[in-house]
Structure 1
Amino acid sequence: MTVYLDYNATTPIHLDVLEEMISVYRHNYGNAGSNTHIYGKSARNAVEKARTRVASALGIEKNEVIFTSGATESNNLAILGLAKWGESVGRKHIISTTIEHKAVLEPLNYLAKKGFHIELVPVNKDCRVNPEDVINHIRPDTLMVSVMHANNETGTIQPVSEIGNALKDTPVYFHIDAAQTFGKLHPELDKLNYDLLSISGHKIHGPQGIGALIMKRKNYKRPPVQPVVFGGGQEGGLRPGTLPVALIVGLGKTAEVAQSNYNKNIENYHLIKEDIINQLQSVKYVINGARDHSLPNCINISFPGIDSEALMVATKEDIAISNGSACTSAEYTPSHVLSAMGLDDAIIQSSIRISWGFGINSINLNSLICFIKNNQ
C-alpha cells in the first residue's frame, strides 16, 4: 500500500472530527440563520461552539473569527477587502515577499493592475526574509504587510514575530498566512502581533472547504476590511452565504484535537525528520530551507543528478510525495519559491517535498534511496 507523505498539500481527516461532522449531517441540519425554530437555533449554537474552539486554539476572542471556505478565500478577503478601504483613503502601497503562496501573490498581481504599488521583498538562500528589509520598505502610504508564517514548499518559518512587533504601534496592517502553522505552531501563534490571520482546516486533519480569517480588534474596532462578495450578511457581512454547519463544526473540533495533542505530535514529527535525514546518509542530498527555522513535519530535499519527476514516478507505488505546491504542481513549472531562493536549476529540478502528520510514526524511504543510488 502506498504511504501518503504529502501532508502539506492536504491531510486525512481525523476520525474524531469526522464523527462530529456526521452527527451534524444526521441530526443538526438546520440553517444557522433561521431564528424562528429550534433547528436553526441548534445549528447556530453548534457554529458558535466551533467559533469558541477556534478562538481558544489561537488565544483570541470568538468575535474575531470569520469563517470562510479556506485559507485562499481568507487571503483574498484580507488583501482585496482591505485594499478597497485603502484605496478610499489613498493608501495603495502593499509589501509582501517573493515566496508567498499563489493565494497571496495573485490577489496582489490583481491589485497591481488596478494601480496599487506592490513590493515583494526577496528572501535569502535559506528561504527567510530579513525583517529589517520588510520594515525598511514602509512608507507613509503603506496599507499592509502580508507575510506567510511558514512556507508551504520548504517549511521555512518566517520572522513574523519580529515584523509584527515592529508594526504593532504603526497604522500599517499586518496579515499573516498561517495555513501551514495553524494547529502546528499554536503556542507561537498565541504570542504574535497581527491584524489579520488566515487559517485552513484541511492542513491539520480537518475537512476541506473550511477555514477562517482572524480579524484582531484594536480598541474594539476590527480592521476596515470591506466585503468582496455580497449576499445575506452572514459573518458580520464579510462572508455572505448559508453557513456550512458541519464543516464549521469540523474545523472547531480540528482545532481542539490539534491543541490537545500538540506536544505529542510535535515531538513525533521532530523524530521522524531526524530519521529521514539519517536514512539519506548513503546518498548525496541538499536540504532546501532553513534547518533551524523550519516546520517539524516537512522537509524539502534535492538529490543532485536526479530528476524529481522520474523519482516520483519510480517510487509512486510505495510513497506519495510531491515536488512543489499542490496548487501549482499540475503546471510542471519550476518552483517560484526555490527560484526566489536563488537556487540553481539543477537543484530545483531535483527537489522533492516530504511531509507528514498525525498517524505517521515512521517513514521507510528504501525505494527512494535505491532509485537515487542507481541513478545518481
Structure 2
Amino acid sequence: MTPPTTRRSVAFVLASWRPDAPAGMERATAALATGLTQAGHHAVIVTAAPQPHQPGLPGVQVEALTCLRVTFPCDDLTLREAITRDEHVIAGQLARILTRHRADTVVFVDALWGLGRLHAELPARRVLAVHVLGHDADLRPALARADVVIAPSPFVLAQAAEAGWNITDWRIVPNALLYDPETGPQPPHAVREELRRAGPVRVLARLGPEKGVAELLAAAHDWDRPLEVALAKADFEAEHGAQQTLLRRCQQLAEASKSARVRDGLPWRAVPGWLAGAAVVIVPSLAETFGLVAAEALGVGTPVVAYRLGHLPALIGESDGAGGVLVEPEEGPAGLLRAAEALLADSLRYGAISRAAYYRSRDFRPLRVAECFVEAVS
C-alpha cells in the first residue's frame, strides 16, 4: 500500500476501552484505530480500564491512564466526580502521553467516558466524537473545548439540533467494522438456505435495558425457532449491580421458554462467524444512534430484523436493496418475532435481502472509514 502523504498520529481517549468489550463505542474505536494503522498512520488508545494479558489490536498501541481513579464497572456520576477531583493530574498525564506519541490529533470518544469535558492544555488538535448526546453537564464543556466535532450518523446531528445545539460545523464519520466484509465469513448460498430453513435466530447485545433483550425473551416464551442470545457486561452501567440484575432476569426468561438460551458474550474475533451462522439477527434495541451489531450482521450477509427507529432505517434500508426488515416500535417484540418468521418463510425474499445486506455494509470497511475520518479532521 502506498504510504499516506501526511502521516497522522492519532490518540483515542476512552476510559472504559478494553479488547472484547461488548459496547459499540469500544468496538468502533478499535475499528477506526485499526483502519488508521492500515492506512499508514499511527494510532494509540488511552484507557483507564484494566487490560488483558494477551495481544491487542495489530499495530495499535494502548496507554494506561493510571491517574483516573475509578474501578469498573462504573456509573456516570462516579466517573464525573473522579474527573473533576483529579482534573489537573489527569490533564498532565494525558499531555505527556500525547507528547510521547507525537500525537497531532486527540479524539475524545465521548463527552464523559471519553473525557471530552476535561479542561486541559494539550499539544494536539481536539476532536470530540459524539456517539450519544449524554448529559448537558458533560456535553457543554466538551463542545466548548473541541476543535472538531464528529458524529456517526445524521440521526445524531438531528438529535443534537432538536436539543438546541449548533451543529453547523459537525461532521459525519460513520462507525467502522473491525473486520472487512470482503474478507469475512460469507456463507455460500446453499449454507445460507439451510440456515433459513433451520438455523437459529441470534441476538448480540450488551446488558442494558435500552437494548430490549428482556422484552424480546419474554415475547418468545412459546417460540419454536431456536433463539440464541449472547449477552455481556460493559464497564459502564446506570447504577451498581444493574447489569447483573438484568442478566439474571434474561437467564430466567430463557430457562422458562421453549427454545431460547442465553450465553456469554463473544470475543470480537468470533463475532462475524457467530452472526454469519444465524438465520436472522434481531436487534431489539429501543434506541440506536448507529447500530453497530446490525452493521456487523449485514457485513456477513445475515438479514436483520429491527425497529424502525434511530439510524437503523438508513443503515438497513426500507425498500429495494434493504438488508433486513423494519418493524414499527408500537408492534413491540412480538412484532419483531412475527417479522422474522415471515422473512424465514419466504425463500426468494430472504435470498434477495441476504445478498443486499452484504452490499450495504461495504461503506463501513475500516480503511474507508479511516480515510473519511482523516478528511473530516484535517
After TM superposition, is the score higher than 0.5? no
Query: What interval of TM-score do these two structures reach, taking the shorter chain for normalisation?
Result: 0.3 to 0.5
Larger RCO (CA under 8 A, 6+ residues apart): 1
TM-score, normalised via structure 2 length? 0.34
